[in-house]
Amino acid sequence: MEDAYARSVTEVLDFFGVDPTKGLTDSQVAENTRIYGKNVLPQEASTPFWKLVLKQFDDLLVKILIVAALVSFILALIDGETGLTAFLEPSVILMILAANAAVGVITETNAEKALQELRAYQADIATVLRNGCFSILPATELVPGDIVEVGVGCKVPADMRMIEMLSNQLRVDQAILTGESCSVEKDLESTLRTNAVYQDKTNILFSGTVVVAGRARAVVVGVGSNTAMGGIRDAMLRTEDEVTPLKKKLDEFGTFLAKVIAGICVLVWIVNIGHFRDPSHGGFLRGAIHYFKIAVALAVAAIPEGLPAVVTTCLALGTKRMARLNAIVRSLPSVETLGCTTVICSDKTGTLTTNMMSVSKICVVHSVHNGPVTSEYSVSGTTYAPEGIIFDGAGMQLEFPAQLPSLLHIVMCSALCNESTLQYNPDKGNYEKIGESTEVALRVLVEKVGLPGFDSMPYSLNMLSKHDRASYCNHYWENQFKKVAVLEFSRDRKMMSVLCSRKQLEIMFSKGAPESIISRCTNVLCNDDGSTVPLTVDVRAALESRFQSFAGKETLRCLALASKRMPSGQQSLSFEDEKDLTFIGLVGMLDPPREEVRNAMLSCISAGIRVIVVTGDNKSTAESLCHKIGAFDDLEEFVGRSYTASEFEELPALQRTLALQRMVLFTRVEPSHKRMLVEALQHQNEVVAMTGDGVNDAPALKKADIGIAMGSGTAVAKSASDMVLADDNFATIVAAVAEGRAIYNNTKQFIRYMISSNIGEVVCIFVAAVLGIPETLVPVQLLWVNLVTDGLPATAIGFNKQDSDVMKAKPRKVSEAVVTGWLFFRYLVIGAYVGLATIAGFVWWFVYFDNGPKLPYSELMNFDTCSTRNTTYPCSVFDDRHPSTVAMTVLVVVEMFNALNNLSENQSLLVIPPWSNLWLVASIFLTMLLHMLILYVKPLSILFSVTPLSWAEWKVVLYLSFPVIIIDEVLKFFSRNSRGMRFNFRYRTDLLPKKELRDK
């Protein structure tokens, strides 16, 4: 029954045909079970493991590598190779792909845990009326129409319509569903509002929420998937994980690269068709196979096998740095997504605020005869810690606040007319509440004011342990007075009272809504001399004015406190006693903003990131908070910036689009609204980060480009998120965004490094094939260079320091390619030099080296006909391992110099020297050590077809390698000047794949 909230109790009971005094009969239960099903969230079908595995190989570059590995293996068998040489290359390729697939499977398996966590919020048992008798049954057996009784501490077992109140009030904590900072009072009245949100359905108890006060009976109106919790589950199932901007751009670049590679491989094979019949190959077919092997080697050279591993490593390094900032990353790609975030949809309660209600203002009557009628005090401290200072109206600190009569009576009333508890948790290292947050705020106020008679209050209390300090002053007053009777809070009175006795003196303390308390007062306590005088019309008007200011302009939650002398020996209280009260004071409290949030907001503005505050709270309270934290840019008028969910839904389509572009505050929201907001922003090509802590936030967290859960939040929210804030602090998000931007910059640098190196390898093989000279590098050497000598420096580039102005730039556009046209031109120039230097080293050994054969260049080009001609040199010279070793060493050393070029995209090495990243220096040293190892250790040198080099050969290697730094310095110079920008425009459309609009 979807509209039970709008129907009367009688209509709902008649709909299900149930007698509220007897409950359902067994036959009705059976029938309703058949119609509505059981009260369980259905088990969702998980993706089969084999499908998850296959999904990881659905990538063009990966497919090319798999084909290359298989072809390499088949060709080795055709050539009669056996053992290690036949299996080495394909095995290494397949091991890399398997490792990358494993990471992907683990990531996707974690994503399905959110739906499993959702079941933890379902109640286990319920007290049900059936066949005229109450019994305790498993909550899964509930059906619509069941009459259920709930009380304090009960977890609501299904969506239920209230039918009978069994106590003065019923309050429910439904924060996991709506995000409201306080518990909600429930009633029996029908809700007449159209488009009612969960907060408006005050007669409905929602499945999974907890009763915190009172007792009531309700009729079940929704079970399983038809509950509010079931709606969240369905929303999560409909939400597909978004592909991160980096992954999207890497996929685009990979597809482009794959097409280029395929084209070059085919071109190399076709160019050499004339050489297929060369006698050295032993026939046309064997010649075709030989050049096909070269094409395969070209594919292996061109594809950066280590790129996925290096990207993963760089992101993992970022997660470690972010963990130190209290941001725990659950999904590695989300680290980079933060860097291009354009909108942060932030939950209010607990993220922008402390989620700890605290008293910030106190108003008392100063005197009815002299000076101003009322006095106002402000209170510092924004948490439950008993640490804060009382200031007077002039901003001066009160040394001994407890010596002022009104403040003294306020703390006495706050400590005694209170059902909450404040305690210190040594495990978490903070102070925690048990009970209503408003009552705990009063407990904390008692501790801040201190006790009378101490010369150094409240500083003397600092000598106590934190456990004793938590409630020391409260315990003092509780020991001074004996509680005799209590009148609990009720909806009609809007107040509570407690009768206390001390030294044969009976006194009643009352607290409640200001309008209820003040209307019952006939006297007032004066703060200047402690006298009690009649409450005049003028004084009452002054108090009403102050209350309106607190509640209106300052949006404080207000409570009034009062007392009354009772007849000696009285042992009970009645509602009749709550009159002729003496007014003590007015306290205003709020969930205060975190101190660091305002600066974090300013950082977001300078970084071009928009913040939208999303909350279930009411509009005026949220607007006041946004004003304090600077979200409204100090504007007085909030029109067009602040909307409730209902107001936003009523807007025409065009106005809704415009509203999204200006919106700063979104209030009175429920789960579907948060998800709707994320989708609407994504349709405007925004990259959205969404924060949340409740079950209600899970669908939006999953839908957002990056979902950020609170450390204190529910397990469902954490499982659906990409990142968890250990300290629940908005400022941590801003620090994480800066880290995300730095990671992206470093990612660009090592992609640039790896791609330019691979272009060098392609140029080397392609030029060698076109010139007709012997095979410069064998595939196993290319694999070693790609994985080890490229991989280590590329990973170390991830340690490049964050730029000082990283949060002053605007977010990069989602459509921005990882590799722009000008950058790709630079890749080509550097890559071409790397390839030509490698070829030059190879040719130098044959033609110019004093200890080499000193062949004419023409002989080198016709090496494949050596066996058919009379030559002055043995044909075995072409099998010498020295030239390929020189070529491989040039390739390694030139790439080490190129790694230094990537300390910054555009800054010179003179500005950012090598020692600014010691990890890179260490990785270059280690890479050269490993290269020496395969050169000079016998079994490895045979495996990689290399041999030791002489000093003369090493000198030529250095001469050929170093110029790469000079070339890149020239290119950086152009990048820093306007000409680089013109190159960017000119080459982008010619050399790169067309940018696609965000596919949402």
Q: Which of 127-141, 381-395, 693-707 has the lowest mean pLDDT?
A: 693-707
Catalytic positions are 347
**How far is 579 from 628, CA to CA, in rounded Å?**
39
Q: Is the pLDDT of residue 607 over 80?
A: yes
Q: Residue 608's pLDDT band (boundaries 50, 70, 90)?
A: confident
575-600 pLDDT, tens digit per residue, is 999 999 999 999 999 888 888 888 88
Tell me the mean pLDDT in the region 928-941: 89
Bridge partners for 220 per DSSP: 160
> For position 510, what pLDDT does the model report?
96
- Report the percentage of the chain scoring pLDDT > 70: 81
All structural domains of the chain? 1-238 (2.70.150.10), 243-318+738-979 (1.20.1110.10), 327-353+594-728 (3.40.50.1000), 358-590 (3.40.1110.10)
Q: Is the pLDDT of residue 480 over 80?
A: yes
Tell me the mean pLDDT in the region 664-691: 88
> For position 87, what pLDDT does the model report?
62
Structure tokens at 691: 């924060």
**How far is 199 from 157, CA to CA, in rounded Å?**
19
> For position 600, what pLDDT does the model report?
84
Q: Is the pLDDT of residue 723 over 80?
A: yes
Residues 344, 755: contact at Cβ < 8 Å? Answer: no
Q: Which of 103-117, 464-478, 747-761 has the lowest mean pLDDT?
A: 103-117
Q: Residue 52's pLDDT band (boundaries 50, 70, 90)?
A: low
Residues 304, 785: contact at Cβ < 8 Å? Answer: no
Instruction: Pick from 90-94, 249-253, 485-489 the range whose average pLDDT is largest.
Output: 485-489
Closest to 515 measured CA to CA, from 549, 552, 560, 484: 560
- Rounded CA Rg of the chain: 37
More confident residue, 255 or 891: 891
DSSP codes, 299-341: HHHHS-TTHHHHHHHHHHHHHHHHHHTTEEESSTHHHHHGGG-
**How far is 853 from 884, CA to CA, in rounded Å?**
14
Amino acid at 57: F
Residues 334, 559: contact at Cβ < 8 Å? Answer: no
Q: Which of 215-229, 394-408, 757-771, 919-933 has the lowest mean pLDDT?
A: 757-771
Tell me the mean pLDDT in the region 869-879: 78
Residues 327, 736: contact at Cβ < 8 Å? Answer: yes
Amino acid at 957: V
Query: CB-based contacts of 398: which residues, under 8 Å, 6+ apart?
Result: 377, 389, 390, 391, 392, 404
Query: CB-based contacts of 373: which residues, under 8 Å, 6+ apart?
Result: 365, 366, 367, 538, 539, 542
The count of residues in the chain is: 1000
Residues 304, 754: contact at Cβ < 8 Å? Answer: yes
> For position 508, what pLDDT does the model report?
96
Burial tier of 428 (Cβ tally within 10 Å: 0-12, 13-18, 19+)? exposed
Bridge partners for 346 per DSSP: 613
Tell me the mean pLDDT in the region 686-713: 82
Instruction: Pick from 716-720, 816-820, 977-981 the range whose average pLDDT is largest.
Output: 716-720
**How far is 701 from 665, CA to CA, in rounded Å?**
18
**How far is 912 from 746, CA to CA, in rounded Å?**
14
Half-sphere exposure of residue 882: CA atoms within 13 angstroms, side-chain side: 19
> For position 68, what pLDDT does the model report?
66
> For position 739, what pLDDT does the model report?
80
71-113 pLDDT, tens digit per residue, is 767 766 766 555 555 566 567 667 766 766 665 565 455 444 4
More confident residue, 624 or 526: 526
> For position 173, what pLDDT does the model report?
81
Q: Is the pLDDT of residue 919 over 70?
A: yes
Tell me the mean pLDDT in the region 200-220: 88
**How far is 882 from 888, CA to CA, in rounded Å?**
10
Query: CB-based contacts of 848: which residues, under 8 Å, 6+ apart?
Result: 854
**How far is 515 from 544, CA to CA, in rounded Å?**
8
State the DSSP code for 910.
T
Tell me the mean pLDDT in the region 305-333: 71
**How far is 529 from 507, CA to CA, in rounded Å?**
20
**Is pTM beyond 0.75 here?**
no
Q: Is the pLDDT of residue 319 over 90?
A: no
> For position 989, what pLDDT does the model report?
36
Amino acid at 388: G
139-181 pLDDT, tens digit per residue, is 889 999 999 999 877 889 899 999 999 887 888 888 777 766 5
> For position 805, what pLDDT does the model report?
66
Q: Is the pLDDT of residue 17 over 80?
A: yes
Query: CB-based contacts of 679: which residues, under 8 Å, 6+ apart?
Result: 703, 1000
Centroid of chain to Cα 561 = 43
Neighbours of 313 (CB within 10 A): 18
**How far is 897 from 988, CA to CA, in rounded Å?**
27
937-978 pLDDT, tens digit per residue, is 888 888 778 899 999 999 999 999 999 999 989 988 888 775
Structure tokens at 262: 């395929």
DSSP codes, 234-246: HHHHHPPPPPPHH
- φ/ψ of residue 188, rounded to 5: -100, -10
The H or E element that residue 484 is part of is: strand 482-487
Label the pairing between strands 642-644 and 610-614: unpaired
**How far is 601 from 426, CA to CA, in rounded Å?**
32
Average pLDDT of the residues of the chain: 81
Start-to-end Cα distance in the chain: 34
